[in-house]
Amino acid sequence: MPLHMAHSICVAWAMLLVVIVMSDMTNGGVQGPIEGYNSLEEMMMTTTDRAQAAMLLPTAPTVAYTHPKWMEPYFDPSTPRNVTALMGKNAYLSCRVRNLANKTVSWIRHRDIHILTVGSYTYTSDQRFQATHHQDTDDWTLQIKWAQKRDAGMYECQISTQPVRSYFVRLNVVVPTATILGGPDLHVDKGSTINLTCTVKFSPEPPAYIFWYHHEEVINYDSSRGGVSVITEKGDVTTSFLLIQNADLADSGKYSCAPSNADVASVRVHVLNVRAIISGEHPEAMQTGSSGCQVNWLTIVLLLGLVLCYSKQCTAALPSPLPGLATAIASASSESTTATSRKRCPAVASCRQAASHANTQAQVQVKRHCHR
């Protein structure tokens, strides 16, 4: 092939390549957008008309954004469902909500279906109710000041989702009670140990302290008397033990247990000198307030023995010296009874005096009258 023909062919291929490249640049590198348009102005006019027409046509409904399940609000299951409060003290009901976002937390009292709080706002005239929010822990706490027995019951913590979500908390209002076991009266022997046990129940927390009183005065555990000690065991039921060694008559009286969170409980302790009573040194300890008679229990035992000795079984069982003793005792009792009956009859002396001055027949009649 001649050299000039080869040169012509190369120039033709180069021009074709230039035409192809220019065509791609005019179409913006994308095939098809300007096909069917005679000019750029026609294309712009058609695009504007289409945009206006699109504004006039009804638009398809927008699909709502679905919140992922793990992003929805939920209650912390570790939140306590039962709360116990002391009457007269503040009660706190906690509601812990995770992923709250733009939702609202409300507290509702189930007793009367009354909305107490919404968010941090209070919707009741009872100013004892107040809601507080702790951002660090996501807690929405309902505070009830000076809790009363009527405040006990079910409360609902509610999230404003669709549908609403609820978490229920029960409030118990209790009154701590102190009791001294064995009351209201305790009897101990002189020289023994006085052991008083005071229990404190229905308290959500142990008492801060427990004082013991004797005759309305605080017991001094370091007194010169010595032998006085207190042991306190705290727990669900707090127990306090008062120990007084070598009890004396002066230790008798009223003892009181006074916890910090409960009413006072009292008991009366009686220290008895049992040995003196048995030996008869202090028979007044056995007196009765109604009759005023002094009765020794040994005398009662002897009298019962006499009654048994009069029975046939006792007579058969007794040895030979005892029946004579019983007969002597019975004779002495008979004489004592006769003497007593004579003392009780004031007409005996006057009868005898009248008989001494009368004749024989009159004396017989007077004696019969005196005998009657």
Asked whether residue 169 falls in the same domain as residue 181, the answer is no
The residue among 129, 120, 115, 122 whose CA lies nearest residue 100 is: 120
Q: Over pLDDT 70: what percentage of the chain?
A: 57
Kindly report the CATH number assigned to the domain that includes residue 115: 2.60.40.10
Whether 132 shows a pLDDT value over 90: the answer reads yes
- What's the pLDDT tens digit per position in 209-224? 999 999 989 998 888 8
Last residue of one domain, picked from the residues 158, 174, 190: 174
- Give dist(CA 211, CA 232) in Å, integer: 11
The confidence score (pLDDT) of residue 365 equals 54
Last residue of one domain, picked from the residues 174, 198, 217: 174
Query: What is this structure's pTM?
Result: 0.45
The confidence score (pLDDT) of residue 352 equals 56
Asked whether residue 267 falls in the same domain as residue 184, the answer is yes
Cα 296-302-308 angle, rounded to 5 deg? 145
Does the residue 33 lie in any domain? no
Asked whether residue 115 falls in the same domain as residue 85, the answer is yes
Higher model confidence: residue 142 or residue 367? 142
The confidence score (pLDDT) of residue 366 equals 46
* DSSP structure string for 235-295: SSSEEEEEEE-S--GGG-EEEEEEETTS--EEEEEEEE-HHHHHHTS-GGGG--TTT----
In this prediction, residue 160 has a pLDDT band, given cuts at 50, 70 and 90, of very high
The confidence score (pLDDT) of residue 205 equals 84
Q: Compute the average pLDDT of residues 329-335.
A: 49
Average pLDDT for the chain: 74
In this prediction, residue 202 has a pLDDT band, given cuts at 50, 70 and 90, of confident
Q: Are 92 and 107 in contact (CB under 8 A)?
A: no
Asked whether residue 130 falls in the same domain as residue 219, the answer is no
Q: Are 369 and 351 in contact (CB under 8 A)?
A: yes
In this prediction, residue 310 has a pLDDT band, given cuts at 50, 70 and 90, of low
